[in-house]
Structure 1
Amino acid sequence: MTTFAPAPHVPVSHVDPFGLDILEDPLPFQADLRDAGPVVYLDRYEVFAMGRYEQVHAALTDWQGFQSAAGVGLSNFRYEKPWRPPSLLLEADPPHHDAPRSVLSKVLGPRALQKLRASWLVDAEVLVDQVLESATEFDAVTRLAAAFPLRVFPDAVGIPDAGRENLLPYGDHLFNAFGPVNSLVEKGAPRIGELSGWVNAQCTRDALSEDGFGAQIWAAADRGDITYEQAPLIVRSLLSAGVDTTVNGLAAVLYAFASHPDQWARVRANPMLARTAFDEAVRWESPVQTFFRTATRDIEVGGTLIPDGHKILMFLGAANRDPRRWENPDAFDLSRNPSGHVGFGMGIHQCVGQHVARLESEALLTALVARVKTIEFTGTPRRHLNNTLRSWESVPVRVQLG
């Protein structure tokens, strides 16, 4: 692709949104991006950016105009070879996207989750009891937000216990790789061959239990709903996107409650708010901050012409705090209806596992609500930087039981 200059009226930003300082605190940049206009040109990467809710939502739902098949990261698969076989869910469009999506939607559907609900509620109670019996001061990320998904979700998929510690570093590199090749990508590069090999090995039929999500995906291949070549890639999608995003969503809601004790009191008074709390935390923190699309033709958005083949960077986090869409958007507020947030995407590529994440959050928060009166910080929370994800490295808290 030759060097491109946008039309003179298009606002241009020289800021690197993947700079470590921006990743540490993206909110001021995102506010500037929204204020600059509906579409802004990021000259460092020669991509168009959208930070307002209206344009982000429209791009997410227009798969014909803004394709995923050219990659949902900075790399453009029209011109570059992907570092791994593309995801059949994230990095494919109809018709190639249809069968895998249909199979996974059934595997992760309401009937399957209803079977898991009772056992996950018990698992959450056991974990919370273990944590609280040992201490009332602990790291909410490592002891709860990361521990619970790594406890229940791989079991549901049907992978063995050995090697599960590989899931988070693999996912961390995967989401870093959607951005530019910066220090975060370089940090994960030495191990990615080893980690990818382990993940791929878990996706084979022989590695999976007979009653998990993975086995159901292979059964779909037996029925002819998908091909045998597609089956391991669909299992890989579960292991790639089903852990890190949930860990970060749980960390977000726990951080939100520690920083908003009045909202924790509301959930204690009305535990039915637990589900609303998770979605409000996903809106407020946006664990998935960005995704790319590629224009399939010359498309005009907000008075800006985006040429065919150009990358578009959608700032989901900015859209979820757009005051044009949300009243008092910087507040974590359980009186708000957060439905419509784009934290799980939107349209045909909306996160197929979002209901799994909601169930995990419901189970964990239900166990905490029954035992914990207050949550407060005992130190300064620390971010874990990632090119795509808004993550916490550590959220040290003290709880009062009651």
Structure 2
Amino acid sequence: MTTTTEPTGVPIVDADPFDPETLLDPYPLHERLREAGPVAFLPKYQHYAYARYEQVQAALADWETYSSAAGVGLQDPRDPGYFRTPGLLLEHDPPDHTKFRKVFAPVLAAPAVRKLRTESAATAAQLVDSVVRKGSVDIVRDLAQVFPLQVLPDAVGLPVPGREHLISFGELVFNGFGPQNDLFTRALERSGPARDWVAACMRRENLSDTGMGATIYASADAGVITHDEAGTLVRNFLSAGIDTTVSAISGALYLLATNPDQWARLRADPSLARAAFEEAVRLVSPVQQFVRSSTREVEVDGAVIPPGSRFLIFHSAANRDPRQWAEPDRFDIGRRPAGHVGFGTGIHACLGQVIARLEGELILSALVERVERIELTGQSRWHLNNSVRSLASLPVHLHPAAQEPGEHHAG
């Protein structure tokens, strides 16, 4: 069990990062934390805070000092009565983490990803064709949420009916990384059907024989992991791979819609689709913050912080740190945002980031080929969640691109 003592020589920032107003607009607090110093202290939760890029990147890369084993949220999932068991990847350190991570080597190997790209490109084209035909759409509801619910579940081998439960399930998981506030309580109250559906789908008999889920269970057949662990890994993969991708795609669409010069730039050079998505991940940072627990005494800017201290690691604040990025709040698809921590870094970096990047690039490529202009037709609305920053609604009208004679989009 980890504890945090009152700090000596550490700036105190009396603020609540999980206050609803802050969740809707976290950037003023992030700036306060960065300007307070390399480390700050949040008395409401008795956690230290890293918000500058240098400290965030270093902490995420150093699992031996900043452990995930006591959970990556405010509560320790090992505590009796907690609503879930610890994740086998996100909340385990080596050697267990190494064993579980290796199970995904064939799942995410280059041949599997190439196959997924081919299959998903057709899906993206068909989906974008359908929303372009409608013209006026909510691009979050009709595109950003739909595509991830097709790609990853198809790849894992889930049944089609009931996939909408993955949104509610992820909502609970990511709210659970914060305090037990109203957001968490409401998500828990609504989650019964979603939890039952996911519990059924993680069982081998409900997965296809050829998907990523079957590959994970093959590791259990080989004795690398147990069959119970295989089911849990399927669940962990699903719980982390939908909401964050919806956030990244919806964030990219929002940034392109509100920065028409960057959309025109992408239209002029569609090869920038991957770079545009990467820059959007930097700016939006789907997971705003995670927690780590120190295993030893650490010294930061002259302050000595004892072992067993808890740290809130602000990915989003690091990704907008002016010490690391020129004009950090500007969306620039020509920027090279290499090193951003939107997907984390180190051994606990997002396992499914290769799939998220694939999905983002495919959607933007399909859109830029078919859409000349994205016109905002209503007010965008951000979704409240303790950990994931994501849009709830983005009403737009998609103006179709003129087709060359003889050109026809599949759909």
TM-score, normalised to structure 2, is: 0.95
Partner of 1:113 in structure 2?
113
Query: Structure 1 residues 189-198 or 361-370, which shifts more?
Result: 189-198
User: CA–CA distance in 2 between the matches of 1:82 and 1:106?
Assistant: 32
Q: Which aligned pairs between 1:235-250 and structure 2 lie closer than 5 A?
A: 235-250=234-249
Structure 1 residue 79, shift from structure 2 partner = 5.8
Write the deviation string for residues 100-156 of structure 1: whole angstroms up to 9, x where unpaired. 1111133122221101111111111111111122x2111110111001111222111
Partner of 1:305 in structure 2?
304
Distance change (3 Å), C-alpha of 1:159 and 1:12 = same
Instruction: Structure 2 unaligned segments of length 5 or more: list them.
Output: 402-411
User: CA–CA distance in 2 between the matches of 1:83 and 1:63?
Assistant: 25
**Could you tell me which amino acid in structure 2 is paired with residue 207 of structure 1?**
N
Secondary structure at the aligned position of 1:374 is classed as strand
Partner of 1:208 in structure 2?
207
Write the deviation string for residues 315-341 of structure 1: whole angstroms up to 9, x where unpaired. 100000000000000001012101100
User: CA–CA distance in 2 between the matches of 1:79 and 1:370?
Assistant: 51
Instruction: Structure 1 unaligned segments of length 5 or more: list them.
Output: none
Whether the aligned pair in 2 keeps the contact of 1:297 and 1:307 (CA below 8 Å) is yes
Partner of 1:290 in structure 2?
289
Partner of 1:4 in structure 2?
5
Query: Structure 1 residues 115-124 or 192-201, which shifts more?
Result: 192-201
Query: Structure 1 residues 159-168 or 195-204, which shifts more?
Result: 195-204
**Could you tell me which amino acid in structure 1 is paired with residue 368 of structure 2?**
V
Write the deviation string for residues 364-395 of structure 1: whole angstroms up to 9, x where unpaired. 11111111011121111001010000011001
Structure 1 residue 286, shift from structure 2 partner = 0.7
Partner of 1:48 in structure 2?
48
Q: Does 1:22 align with 2:22?
A: yes
Structure 1 residue 81, shift from structure 2 partner = 5.7
Write the deviation string for residues 33-55 of structure 1: whole angstroms up to 9, x where unpaired. 10000100000000000100000
Whether the aligned pair in 1 keeps the contact of 2:132 and 2:399 (CA below 8 Å) is no
Whether the aligned pair in 2 keeps the contact of 1:69 and 1:77 (CA below 8 Å) is no
Query: Structure 1 residues 381-390 or 302-311, which shifts more?
Result: 302-311
User: CA–CA distance in 1 between the matches of 2:11 and 2:132?
Assistant: 52
Secondary structure at the aligned position of 1:107 is classed as coil
User: CA–CA distance in 2 between the matches of 1:213 and 1:100?
Assistant: 14
Q: Which aligned pairs between 1:58-207 and structure 2 lie closer than 5 A?
A: 58-76=58-76, 82-133=82-133, 135-207=134-206
TM-score, normalised to structure 1, is: 0.97
User: CA–CA distance in 1 between the matches of 2:277 and 2:82?
Assistant: 33
Secondary structure at the aligned position of 1:138 is classed as strand
Structure 1 residue 304, shift from structure 2 partner = 2.6
- Alignment size in residue pairs: 400
Secondary structure at the aligned position of 2:64 is classed as coil
User: CA–CA distance in 2 between the matches of 1:108 and 1:92?
Assistant: 20
Partner of 2:270 in structure 1?
271
User: CA–CA distance in 2 between the matches of 1:44 and 1:35?
Assistant: 19
Structure 1 residue 80, shift from structure 2 partner = 6.0
> Which portions of structure 1, spanning 4 or more consecutive aligned residues, are displaced by more than 4 angstroms?
77-81
Aligned-CA RMSD value: 1.4
Partner of 1:39 in structure 2?
39
**Could you tell me which amino acid in structure 2 is paired with residue 98 of structure 1?**
T
Structure 1 residue 78, shift from structure 2 partner = 6.8
Write the deviation string for residues 171-218 of structure 1: whole angstroms up to 9, x where unpaired. 011100100011101111213344222212111110100111100000
User: CA–CA distance in 1 between the matches of 2:199 and 2:309?
Assistant: 32
